[in-house]
Structure 1
Amino acid sequence: MIQSMTGYGKTVLQLPTKKITIELKSLNSKNLDVNVRIPSYYKEKELNIRKKLASLLVRGKVDFSIYIENNGGEVSSKINKNAVKEYMNQLKTIVDSNEMELLKIAVRLPDSLKTEREELDEGEWLQIDEGINEAIKKTTLYRTDEGVSMHNDFVLRISNIASLLEKVIEIDPKRIAHVQDKIKKSIDELAAKIDESRFEQELIYYIEKLDITEEKVRLKNHLDYFRKELNETTSNGKKLGFITQEIGREINTIGSKSNFADMQKLVVQMKDELEKIKEQSLNVL
């Protein structure tokens, strides 16, 4: 069953001192393009995250984020007491002021606050890793649901092209007769004496150049192949794209050879259906 490359998954973890939100979004792309935004103290896990996303999501433009909301139990910045005291001692030698005023000045000076690097808690990371797995599952489910809608649309479009092809096959003898009559009429209008035997040979040659038997057979085979790929267990958007190109090639050739207004109208309708398939296939995983 095909999958869409469009997906979304979100997991929220409530830990004792913080709330962690894991968000995952994916859009269509020719290859895998992963963008990871995480707090600095999780950076050592970034490579593992990328490998997991590549393995499970395969293809698409993927945006992965971890957001932290502290509940007030922890602060990463602390007052550098030694620096503040030293500043205050130096200020006392410059200005005559009370301790509170000196403190207000000292805490604004460089190095009065120190940021302590938070070490990674492996127990916390195990919970986050489970949250990542859950977000990926939700994204995959989203992709699968989108894939069902796309599958139904593809089946409809391919069936429409197949129906139009049947009409092409049905009117093909009429087209050939029309071409023959058109040529004979042109010859008659010239009022020229012609060798009937030679004329028949040239007419057969010309009709053979306009023959679309092979194109009709190949187009039908490509449509059947497209349907078969839609029902495969794995999603392969690139292969569907290649088959779509081949379908387009046969439709274009039929159009260039048709030389018959009724058939050209059918070709235009087939092209319209194919354009809708092409647009959708760009989003298939």
Structure 2
Amino acid sequence: MTQSMTGFTRCQADGLTWEIRSVNQRYLEPSFKIPDTFRALESLLRQRLRRHLHRGKIDCLLRYDSEDNQATNLNEGNLAQLGTLMDAVHRIVPGAATPTALDLIRWPGVLDQASFDEARLFKLASALFDDALSDLTEMRRREGHEMQQAIAGQLQNLKDEVNQIAETADAIREHQSTRLRNRLAELTTEADPGRLEQEMVFLLQKSDIQEELDRLNAHIDEVSAALSSDEPAGRRLDFLMQELNREVNTIASKSASVDTSNHSVQMKVLIEQMREQIQNIE
């Protein structure tokens, strides 16, 4: 299935947030920015990413908010000791102010932070990465499908242009042949008829575009097949655009009619439009 190389996704849970951004790149270039606490996960995550994506610059960012992920417990023993001390203060200084509940929980040691649960957080970060990667892949597929539809329409327009040139090719060849024969007939000098016939055939072959039309149709079929392939086809499509452009340039250089020249210009426009889309296909 055709995939785009651009996309963005964000997944978060329990203080962990993954952001994955993808842009077009000739090769696959993953980049990870994650807290040192989770660095041991990077190698495994890179392997998973490479199984899903084949081209593009992929920036993966993990943020961890420890306060959101650590439970807070009341240390009743420390609070009781603090209460005993307050009673002693009031006996010595009867007029001393009584602290509020908020003052008490702010006192060092009254609240305890739960310890860092590495195994649970690693498992959560790994599962969250899989979710983000799945979302990104789906986004790239949706955009890729839209691009595939657009290219398919442009490809059909290109085929129509080729067919229109082919429909007039025989008439153009006949016109060129007649014109050459008339010009030869106007020559006043004696010439070898056989040699003149050879030269005329040579000139007609130089301006014949049937081979280019055949190759254009073959390349168009290859583009259509590549778009329908389940394998990444971006590089193949880019190469085919170069081949299409080469054949059209040859037709334009051989053109013996205004109509053929106009069709050649239109074909080059269509190929450029497809090429721009293909630059973002995986």
What residue number does 2:91 align with?
A: none
- Provide Cα deviations, 1:186-210, integer angstroms capped at 9, x if missing partner: 5577765555554333111210122
The AA in structure 2 aligned to 1:50 is: R
| 1:274 counterpart = 2:271 | yes
**SS state at 1:33 partner:** strand
Q: In structure 2, what is the Cα distance between the partners aligned to 1:70 and 1:163?
A: 62
| 1:21 counterpart = 2:17 | yes
Asked if the contact 2:234/2:278 (under 8 Å) is kept, the reply is: yes
**SS state at 1:234 partner:** coil
| 1:6 counterpart = 2:20 | no
Segment drifting more, 197-206 vs 222-231: 197-206
Asked if the contact 2:24/2:279 (under 8 Å) is kept, the reply is: yes
- Provide Cα deviations, 1:29-66, integer angstroms capped at 9, x if missing partner: 11011111111111121222222212212211000001
| 1:174 counterpart = 2:174 | no
Q: In structure 1, what is the Cα distance between the partners aligned to 2:180 and 2:254?
A: 16
The AA in structure 2 aligned to 1:24 is: I
| 1:144 counterpart = 2:141 | yes
Say how many residue pairs are matched. 239
Q: In structure 2, what is the Cα distance between the partners aligned to 1:272 and 1:188?
A: 41
What residue number does 1:200 align with?
A: 197
Displacement of 1:180 = 3.5
Segment drifting more, 230-239 vs 32-41: 230-239
Q: In structure 2, what is the Cα distance between the partners aligned to 1:192 and 1:266?
A: 39
1:93-104 aligned within 5 A? none
Asked if the contact 1:24/1:65 (under 8 Å) is kept, the reply is: yes
Q: Any stretches of 5+ residues in structure 1 without a counterpart?
A: 75-117
**SS state at 2:65 partner:** strand
The AA in structure 1 aligned to 2:63 is: Y
TM norm structure 1: 0.76
What residue number does 1:49 align with?
A: 45
Q: In structure 2, what is the Cα distance between the partners aligned to 1:24 and 1:9?
A: 5
Structure 2 counterpart of 1:254, from 251, 256, 265: 251
The AA in structure 2 aligned to 1:43 is: R
Of all paired residues, the percent bearing the same amino acid is 29
CA gap 1:28/1:72 in 2 versus in 1, 3 angstroms: closer
**SS state at 2:270 partner:** helix
**SS state at 1:62 partner:** strand
Q: In structure 1, what is the Cα distance between the partners aligned to 2:52 and 2:11?
A: 17
Q: Which has the larger radius of gyration?
A: 2
**SS state at 1:71 partner:** helix
Asked if the contact 2:7/2:21 (under 8 Å) is kept, the reply is: yes
What residue number does 2:106 align with?
A: none
1:69-84 aligned within 5 A? 69-71=65-67
| 1:132 counterpart = 2:129 | yes
Asked if the contact 1:7/1:27 (under 8 Å) is kept, the reply is: yes
Kindly report the root-mean-square deviation, in angstroms, between the aligned alpha carbons of the 2 structures: 2.4
TM norm structure 2: 0.77
Q: Any stretches of 5+ residues in structure 2 without a counterpart?
A: 71-114
